[in-house]
Amino acid sequence: MTEADWAKLALLCLAGAASPGLSWLLILSMSAARGMRVGISGAIGHGLGITIFALTTVFGLSALLIAMPDLTTALTFLGLFLLLYFGYQLITAGSPALPERLTTQGGFIAGFFIAIINPKVLVFFLAVFGPFVEPTHSVKTQLLMGALAGGIDTLVYMCVAITGMALRQALDANRIRLINRIIGYLLILSGLWIFTQEISNLIEIVDN
């Protein structure tokens, strides 16, 4: 790839990572409620998940997932379950807003899975990496493409975690709980919306 291609790919990855979404909400909440170390560990886990998604896209696993809709559906419902679980935890927990057992390692795992099971990430990487993937690319180039996406994502979400820590210092406990409950309701509503979309897709498949 040329230097211009690398620059374009980096900008696309930055745009994707910088777009606020459910992952932003989760990392912000983790950092605000449990501290910056947990938030940053979540950012690192999320970056690792994005790296894996980027690499599987580059090396062709995304084509396998598209060819096996049952596997894609299973991943979607697993992601749905986690969205509902995190939303429930945020709404029902007291102070801190996330359970005490969410340690640094727990934050890493949560960040990883919220990235790796998100079907929208697959769609994003198919759209972003598709024009850049060539059969003639060396393995080194393919690995660098995955590392670029994961590295940019990690840096962006570290900034999100730092922002969450700043919110923790600026807000009292009651306001943090209120914010986390709002985030929790958003996660649950998003999960229910995804559920209805998946059910509609399954009904269409059965009817056809």
pLDDT digit string (tens) for 121-174? 766 776 666 667 676 778 888 889 889 999 999 999 899 888 877 776 665 666
Q: What is the pLDDT of residue 62?
A: 53
The CA distance from 74 to 118, in Å, is: 11
Two structure tokens written together for 131 = 């024009």
CA neighbor of 177 nearest in space, from 51, 54, 90: 90
What pLDDT digit, counting tens, does each position of 68-107 carry? Answer: 766 666 666 766 776 677 678 777 764 444 444 555 667 7
Quickly tell me which residue has 């999960």 as its tokens.
Answer: 191
Q: Out of 12-16, 17-21, 74-78, 147-151, which region has the weakest mean confidence (pLDDT)?
A: 74-78
Q: What residue type is assigned to position 35 of the chain?
A: G
SS3 (DSSP) at 161: helix
- Whole-angstrom distance, CA of residue 29 vs CA of residue 167: 10
CB environment 95-134: b (16+ within 10 A), e (fewer): ebbbeeebeeebbbebbbbbbbbbbebbebbeebbeebbe
Dihedral sign for Cα atoms in the order 116, 121, 127, 132: negative
Q: How far apart are CA 181 and CA 29, in angstroms?
A: 10
The answer to whether residues 100 and 16 touch, using CB atoms and an 8 Å cutoff, is no
